[in-house]
Amino acid sequence: MSELKDLFQSADWKTEKHVPVIDAPDTVKKGELIRIVATVGKEIPHPNKTEHHISWVEIYFQPQGEKFPYQIGRIEFSAHGASANGVDTSTVYTHPEAAVSFKTDKPGVIFACSYCNIHGLWQGSRALKVE
């Protein structure tokens, strides 16, 4: 039986990207508001069609020395071209990008997870230093 951690994919493909790219400062001051943007398909766009899309992005922060991470936010993407007229007939398409802000007094690791309806779960991470 698989565990959830074993279901995360790690190797992206050349024609599309799934791993969330995390844009955040390398170092922040204690208590300073930190803005994080996690984007899927930043370098090479990911498809955003009814039949193939990113459903959601979650952002977590794991403070150094703590056992569990904190979920900072979850953003769901609902517009993938479907409309009352059928598949891919809409002109409205969401872009898989999530922006959140938080404060911390500890260094740690930022994690971003994404879910592709065809290719499953993906994860990116980035260290955060606190002065």
pLDDT tens profile 64-83: 999 999 999 999 999 999 89
CA atoms within 13 A on the CB side of 72: 24
52, β-bridge pairs: 49
pLDDT at 1 over 80: no
Instruction: Name the 3-class secondary structure at 94.
Output: coil
Looking at CATH, the fold of the domain delimited by 4-130 is given as Immunoglobulin-like (2.60.40)
Catalytic site positions: 16-18, 46, 52, 116, 119
pTM of the model: 0.90
* Mean pLDDT, rounded, for 104-130: 96
Report CA dihedral (14, 59, 65, 127) to the nearest 10 degrees.
40
